């Protein structure tokens, strides 16, 4: 039997829709505090970082080549040893695909599109697509688990998902 594509439509990236998978890292709401003599607003602790004690948090740079829509997702991955945050260092939005887990199998994927100057933190062991900047190459700071153990699990969909902008 041939593989059949399945459509996946982008939905708004809201805390309500995303909280089961991760955190939105942005400056929404009121600042937690004003610092530096009023010159800087601090929005404190926007991500649930969670790293296995066999390694530690690190900051890496990812330089991602662009994708375009519609975008076919045939593979998702997850990181059993830690959360993974993506901080865009340019203004380009990026696509965020996540999925629930059903006994080791990713299920019910969802697709979101960030706004400019908005990052995300994928929670530990949550299925997600690879880094997907749209239209232009983009640089990200990535805060994830660094250590010696294997921190990657991949899953290939028999029927790939095709992410599209509108239903």
Interacting residues with a second copy (CB under 8 A): 25-27, 31-32, 35-36, 39-47, 49, 51, 56-65, 67, 85, 87-91, 117, 119, 121, 130-131, 139, 141-143, 146
Query: Is 94 in contact with 132 (CB distance < 8 Å)?
Result: yes
Q: Scanning the structure block, which residue is given the tokens 């706004």? A: 115
- DSSP secondary-structure letter at 32? S
Q: How far is the CB of 165 from a second copy (least distance, A)?
A: 21
Nearer to a second copy, 11 or 75 (CB): 75
Rounded CA gap, 71 and 94, in Å?
12
Nearer to a second copy, 64 or 109 (CB): 64
Nearer to a second copy, 43 or 155 (CB): 43
Rounded CA gap, 29 and 123, in Å?
22
Q: How far is the CB of 1 from a second copy (least distance, A)?
A: 25
Q: What tokens does 13 get?
A: 């990236």
């Amino acid at each position: 039997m041939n593989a059949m594509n399945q459509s996946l439509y982008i939905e708004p990236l809201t805390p309500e829709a995303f909280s089961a998978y991760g955190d939105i890292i942005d400056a929404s709401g009121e600042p937690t505090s004003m610092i530096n003599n009023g010159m800087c607003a601090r929005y404190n602790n926007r991500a649930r970082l969670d790293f296995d004690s066999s390694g530690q948090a690190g900051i890496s740079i990812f330089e991602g080549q662009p994708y375009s829509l519609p975008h076919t997702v045939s593979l998702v991955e997850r990181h059993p040893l830690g959360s993974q945050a993506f901080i865009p260092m340019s203004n380009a939005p990026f696509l965020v695909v996540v999925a629930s887990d059903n006994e080791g199998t990713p299920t019910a994927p969802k697709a979101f599109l960030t706004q400019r100057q908005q990052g995300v933190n994928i929670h530990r062991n949550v299925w997600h697509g690879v880094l997907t900047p749209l239209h232009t190459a983009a640089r990200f700071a990535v805060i994830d688990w660094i250590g010696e153990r294997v921190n990657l699990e991949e899953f290939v969909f028999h029927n790939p998902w095709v992410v599209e902008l509108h239903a």
